[in-house]
Amino acid sequence: MTKATNLPPIAPIDAVSARMAHSADHLRLVASGAWTLAQIHQIEAALAVGHPPDIRQLRVDLSAVTALDTAGAYVLSRWIRRITHEGAELELHVANEAQKALLHRVEVVERRPLARQRSSAFVLMLDRIGRATIEFRHAAHDLLGFFGIVVITMFRVLAQPRRLRFISLVAHIERIGLHALPILGLLSFLIGVVLAYQGADQLRAYGAEIFTVNLLGISILRELGVLLTAIMVAGRSGSAFAAEIGTMKVNEEVDAMTTLGLDPIEVLVLPRILAMLIALPLLTLYASLMALGGGAVMAMTALDIGFAQFLNQLSGAIVASTFWTGMIKAPVFAFAIALVGCYEGLQVTGSAESVGHHTTRSVVESIFLVIIADAAFSILFSIMGV
Amino acid sequence: MTPDQPVIRVRGLVTRFGTHTIHDGLDLDVRPGEVIGVVGGSGSGKSVLLRTIIGLKRPEGGSIDVLGRSTAKLDTAGWKALQSRWGVLFQNGALFSALTVAQNVRVPFLEHTDLAAKLVGDLIRVKIDMVGLPAEAGAKYPSELSGGMRKRAALARALALDPEILFLDEPTAGLDPISAAAFDQLIRDLQRALGLTVVIVTHDLDTLVTITDRIAVLVDTRIIVGTLNELLDNPHPWIREYFHGPRGRAARHES
């Protein structure tokens, strides 16, 4: 074999040479050395030497070539083709049949583009918008259908509480709720601190620093506590739902479940949604308290508002409805996050990339839905005058 | 260095996962220009052996020489030089999913050579044609290809730099018998045309019978190497079971 002599690694490789001689309309190329990828620059340089026009007879002698690979063969055959194309006749002398076969093999004449034909940027953009719109419509339609199935299953299970996967439910509550406490607590506390600081800075101009407490109480209890918790949980647990169910989908576990007579909605989706419905309101309460705590600490240290004064001002600023308008959103957000997470998980098909894709989508969609729902609540509350 | 010196020489190889010993004092010689098949039961460490030779796993003991170089003593530059002289075809192709087939084949050129873009494009076309893919496959993404085509595309990437050694991990796994036979034939043809040394890890008895020159059987943390006929007479119970079992008989009968 041609390669056998080229075995020693990083060893002196036989120098390439291409001696050209011509007489009248005869051109003769005597090649020697290793015609391989490593030597490709020398090979190209050696063949770049010009030759007289109107060659009728081309004689290529490869018997002294010690190694020939596809790169060397390709460059040589391209050179040969260029001359024979002008009407020359080829006479080929090879060291072995393998060289000849290889030279023949690399003769790819078709020069098809390696990339796809590109349309103009404007057309591409229109195309993308169109696709996204149609996809959005389908996704909304499917999600609504999934919502229906989940609700029906939920009522069926509630009618027969024995069918509820209790252990799974508790495990999910632990993972969504308990395990989120440290990070959510820290985050809320810091938001409380930042809010108190920024609020006090603005209100000081009017000598109304004490109203920082009102600002904190209303904004945290009505909006920020629940929104912060929902976004945090969407990123932490909604994505986990999509990834877990998606991985099971890839492993065909969901299919196996169905063939064994288990309903994936009942086994996988329902415990997660119920766990989220229980955990998210509790987390919201916890996050609101932590944020108020952060605000109180800030008020004490930077504004000289004592803790008793803080509580006093707070109880004057908020009424029961302030608290409940915030809390009532929690189960709705919980349902949206869990529904989207499970839905995207079940949309996974085939490959591992699909899991990543749908996990990302679950986070984006659930946060989107949470904010849409929050806006809807704001409109509703303003109509109701709460 | 003589042409008869082994391309790969493994001496006293020991590999472990935790306390579980996979190979214990394994010796293997791969001769230049041969096609060697590596077989063994599930968990016998076929893929581990391959991964150890190509440097993805560090051995716990023993030495591995590839192309006359001890892999344990190589520095980064040495590894890079060695890597450009072998090609690896992973079980599922391991094509980069974000790149088209042509871009996948281009990766080794970008990393190891400084050729002009036009020449690289031409060489990519040659490789894609060589592995029996249609020219338009170059613009496709791996997800748009069938299993057999994906393997061919991965082979084109493995062959990009005209390596001297080709490692194949279960090349025909997951292919239908017709595609598998065609792939076997392709490997044999390319091996002849390019003078490759080929190491195939496989379960496929048809592959073993049709294209390998010698077979290395992993049993009891060691390796037994021989031609098919030599192994047929081997008294080891696993080897007897493997080649004389119903599937083994059928594969030999066909060829």
Helix (H) or strand (E) holding A270: helix A270-302
**Which residues in A lie closer than 8 A to residue B135 (C-beta atoms)?**
108, 110, 112
Asked if A70 is an interface residue toward chain B (Cβ–Cβ < 8 A), one would say yes
Q: Which of A192, A171, A196 is nearest to A268 (CA)?
A: A171
Instruction: Give the pLDDT score at A1.
Output: 38
The answer to which of A92-106, A161-175, B205-219 has the lowest mean pLDDT is: A92-106
Read off the pLDDT band of A4 (50, 70, 90).
Answer: very low
How many angstroms separate the CA atoms of A94 and B237, rounded? 49
Closest Cα of chain A to B144: distance in Å?
13
How many angstroms separate the CA atoms of B159 and A258, rounded? 44
Mean pLDDT computed over every residue of chain A: 87
Q: What is the ipTM of this complex?
A: 0.76
Mean pLDDT of A216-236: 94
Rounded alpha-carbon distances, angstroms, from residue B152 to A89, A111, B183, B207: 35, 20, 8, 16
Residue A8 has pLDDT above 50, yes or no: no
Angle between helix A270-302 and helix A181-203 axes, rounded to 10 deg: 40
Rounded alpha-carbon distances, angstroms, from residue B184 to B148, B150, B170: 11, 15, 11
Q: Which of these CATH numbers, 3.30.750.24, 3.40.630.10, 3.40.190.10, 2.60.120.330, describes A2-105?
A: 3.30.750.24
Query: Do the Cβ atoms of B51 and B170 come closer than 8 Å?
Result: no
How many angstroms separate the CA atoms of A37 and A245, rounded? 48
**Which residues in A lie closer than 8 A to residue B121 (C-beta atoms)?**
114
Residue B249 has pLDDT above 90, yes or no: no
Mean pLDDT of A79-104: 82
pLDDT in tens, B122-131: 888 888 888 8
Could you identify the residue written with the tokens 């010009």?
A50
Listed by number, the residues of chain A in 328-357 with a beta carbon closer than 8 Å to a beta carbon of chain B are: 351, 353
pLDDT in tens, A32-41: 888 888 888 8
DSSP letter for B45, please: S
How many angstroms separate the CA atoms of A116 and B67, rounded? 40
Mean pLDDT computed over every residue of chain B: 85
Who contacts B32 (Cβ-Cβ below 8 Å, separation ≥6)? A1, A3, A4, A7, B3, B4, B5, B6, B7, B197
B22 φ, ψ (degrees, to nearest 5): -95, -55
Read off the pLDDT band of A386 (50, 70, 90).
Answer: confident
**Which residues in B lie closer than 8 A to residue A40 (C-beta atoms)?**
113, 115, 119
CA-derived radius of gyration, chain B: 18
Domain-by-domain residue ranges, chain A?
2-105, 146-384
Read off the pLDDT band of A9 (50, 70, 90).
Answer: very low
Instruction: Give the pLDDT score at A39.
Output: 84
CB contact under 8 A, B68 and A8: yes
The answer to which of A215-224, A329-338, B2-11 has the lowest mean pLDDT is: B2-11
Does the pTM of the predicted model rise above 0.90?
no
Chain A interface, mutation test: which of B86, B123, B145, most A Cβ atoms within 10 Å? Answer: B123
Read off the pLDDT band of A70 (50, 70, 90).
Answer: confident
CA dihedral A349, A354, A359, A364 (to 10 degrees): -100
Could you identify the residue written with the tokens 């990828």?
A37
Instruction: Give the pLDDT score at A114.
Output: 66
Instruction: Give the pLDDT score at A366.
Output: 95
Could you identify the residue written with the tokens 């073993």?
B208
B74 φ, ψ (degrees, to nearest 5): -75, 140
CB contact under 8 A, B129 and A102: no
Who contacts A55 (Cβ-Cβ below 8 Å, separation ≥6)? A22, A25, A26, A27, A83, A86, A88
Instruction: Give the pLDDT score at A12.
Output: 46
How many angstroms separate the CA atoms of A367 and A19, rounded? 71
Mean pLDDT of A354-370: 94
Read off the pLDDT band of B17 (50, 70, 90).
Answer: confident
Out of A30-34, A175-179, A304-308, the most confident range is: A175-179
